[in-house]
Amino acid sequence: MARGLPTGEIADRLHLSPHTVRDHIKAVFEKVGVSSRGELVGKLFTEYYAPLAEKNMTRVHTG
């Protein structure tokens, strides 16, 4: 989902039916508390990726 793949392609890659994939996506949305793929990706980025990236980031102040 984070790669922007449509449901049908996710289903093909996982050898599942599109209906099953939709059911799983719906369950993930409910557990995470979001209502769209974009919202899910945003939440994952801000809560998990960004804090880890900032730990390894060196800020340089100029001027």
CA distances from 53 to 1, 42, 44, 50, 58 (A): 21, 15, 13, 5, 10
Q: What pTM value is reported for the model?
A: 0.70
Between residues 50 and 25, the one the model is more confident about: 25
Structure confidence at residue 26 as a pLDDT band (50, 70, 90): very high
Question: How do residues 36-52 score in pLDDT, each as one tens digit?
Answer: 999 999 998 888 777 77
Lowest mean pLDDT among 18-27, 38-47, 48-57: 48-57
Percent of the chain with pLDDT over 70: 89
